Structure 1
Amino acid sequence: MRYGTRALLSKALLSLLLMAACGAQAHFQELIPSTDILTAETGNTLALSLKFTHPMEQGPVMSMAAPRRFGVMGPRGQEDLIDRLRPGGTDGKRTFQATYRAELPGDYIFFVEPAPYWEPAEGVMIVHYTKVIVDAFGAEQGWDQEIGLPVEIIPLVRPYGLWTGNLFRGIVKQDGKPVPFAAVEVEWRNDGSVTPPSDPYITQVVKTDANGVFSYAMPRSGWWGFAALLEGDTPLKSPDGDSVPVEAGALMWVQVRDMR
């Protein structure tokens, strides 16, 4: 078998695995701040919660290893915040928390690169590069900056100050290039008030267009996660030492509020 044929089969296999994942419980790396807009009334201190879970189903929570990167892009440039992470726990599973004080007006793009997570049911290592954006004191500048992650969602709509029903649009990039026709999973972070009537209601699925752009209208207030699941460039080793594909997820969280 020629190398090119093996490569095509490898890509086809990973595509099938990712499609199967869409039908199973969807993994989402959460990176949730205490607010998405800092004002004089809220003060300048944020609490951030990191959890690997199934948000629409309210669990289960999977234990996180220590993230490889955790930082923020803000008015002062990029800051390494890895030393601010503190381990915690939910249902006996390891999670992380951090606090951050925004000293200057501007937009703060928080991001995390978690350690790879082995999912034996899907036969893949999962790495979800996750972002959330917080505006500080009305500056409203910097929300569309790129961090330069291997896979990344760039918002085409200001990702805060959103009303329920607003249309969110973003462009999915891998290695800095738009990804056409990529599947994007969408889940609401359930507060216990909604019971999905069947599995297709748990995870919404949209696809990017030929330019890598997707859109979704958020029908309920709360936090919404967008996850573009792509093939990682380099296979990783499973706990058994086998070479396995990587699900490289580009994730982004946005919050919407009811208009009252």
Structure 2
Amino acid sequence: MLCCVLLSLCCSTAVHAHFLELIPTTDIVASPAQAKLGFTLQFTHPMAQGPVMPLALPSQFAVVGPMGKQDLLPSLVSKNSDKAQYFNAEYQIKRPGDYLFYVQPQPYWEPAEAKMIVHYTKVVVDAYGMEAGWDTELGLPTEIVPLTRPFGLWTGNLFQGVVKQAGKPVPFAEVEVEWRNDGSITPPSDPYITQVLHADANGTFSYVMPKAGWWGFAALTEADSTMTNPEGKQVPVEQGGLIWVFARDMK
């Protein structure tokens, strides 16, 4: 009986990390055939392969690149997975350079954690080897500024970034890391699903990516102000800064 109670307690308290996925068809455009990018935007648990949680139309979806800032919100196309909304989008690369795509989602109420969640998410795509601007700060409320170039990465490379909130480094910020599971890995237990680390006193964190594929880095901070949840109560806000990077096997 005691074993059953403990098992029930463990299952009820295990909470997987939330990640807003912003995944392009490629992180490097090397030829005109790759210049038409496709994007998938969904709110999910990447390593656990779901479930997909409802994603409202974002407040912002934009890109900062060689042609300045462009509003991409009209390009979003609503899709559904098990009655949970997500979005697809397309973007045509026209000039060489680095393109910083980012999303500001609507706040998401998570009753299991009694807080609202807002994850500012970005991904960098390099076009035709220009490699200029990949470390540009977008000025998001919480943001990971890469110290390692966030494309052209081999499996086993060390990825480093600085966690910033309101433009200032966040000492000892918590960073969650997940691999976007393609179905080839079954985590042996919950601690393997989400890797957890802390930045140093300067807000800098490091992580070696052990497998090819997309890796999400989520720096988690608490917003200075609260929000009203669906029940009308004031609750804290998890303000996340996410970046997605891709690692390839060296063959």
Q: TM-score, normalised by structure 1?
A: 0.90
C-alpha distance in structure 2 between counterparts of 1:131 and 1:52, whole Å: 14
Deviations 1:36-57 (A, max 9, x none): 0001163311001000000000
- Could you say what the CA RMSD is over the residues aligned between the two structures, in angstroms? 1.1
C-alpha distance in structure 2 between counterparts of 1:190 and 1:249, whole Å: 21
Deviations 1:58-115 (A, max 9, x none): 0011011110011001011111111111111122210011100111100000000000
C-alpha distance in structure 2 between counterparts of 1:86 and 1:44, whole Å: 19
1:193 corresponds to 2:184 = yes
Match of 2:117 in 1: 126
1:213 corresponds to 2:204 = yes
1:57 corresponds to 2:41 = no
Match of 1:163 in 2: 154
Q: CA deviation at 1:225?
A: 0.2
1:184 corresponds to 2:188 = no
Deviations 1:179-226 (A, max 9, x none): 000110000000000011111100001110010000000000000000
Match of 2:232 in 1: 241
Q: Secondary structure at the match of 1:42?
A: helix
C-alpha distance in structure 1 between counterparts of 2:25 and 2:34, whole Å: 11
C-alpha distance in structure 1 between counterparts of 2:63 and 2:14, whole Å: 33
The percent of aligned pairs where both chains have the same amino acid is 62
**Runs of 4+ residues over 4 Å off in structure 1:** none
Matches within 5 A, 1:241-260: 241-260=232-251
Match of 2:58 among 64, 67, 78: 67
Match of 2:82 in 1: 91
Matches within 5 A, 1:21-36: 24-36=15-27
1:231 corresponds to 2:232 = no
Q: CA deviation at 1:24?
A: 1.6
Q: Secondary structure at the match of 2:42?
A: strand
Match of 2:10 in 1: none
C-alpha distance in structure 2 between counterparts of 1:229 and 1:36, whole Å: 24
C-alpha distance in structure 2 between counterparts of 1:244 and 1:111, whole Å: 26
Deviations 1:131-187 (A, max 9, x none): 000000111111000111000000000000000000000000000000000110000
Q: TM-score, normalised by structure 2?
A: 0.94
C-alpha distance in structure 2 between counterparts of 1:35 and 1:51, whole Å: 17
Match of 2:35 among 44, 61, 69: 44
C-alpha distance in structure 1 between counterparts of 2:224 and 2:94, whole Å: 37
Change (3 A) 1:167 1:42: farther
C-alpha distance in structure 2 between counterparts of 1:147 and 1:77, whole Å: 12
1:148 corresponds to 2:139 = yes
C-alpha distance in structure 1 between counterparts of 2:159 and 2:30, whole Å: 23
C-alpha distance in structure 2 between counterparts of 1:239 and 1:43, whole Å: 43
C-alpha distance in structure 1 between counterparts of 2:211 and 2:26, whole Å: 17
Q: Secondary structure at the match of 2:33?
A: coil
Q: Which amino acid aligns with 2:116?
A: M
Q: Secondary structure at the match of 2:129?
A: coil
| Structure 2 unmatched runs, 5+ | 1-12
Q: CA deviation at 1:23?
A: 5.5
Q: Secondary structure at the match of 2:74?
A: helix
How many pairs align?
Answer: 239
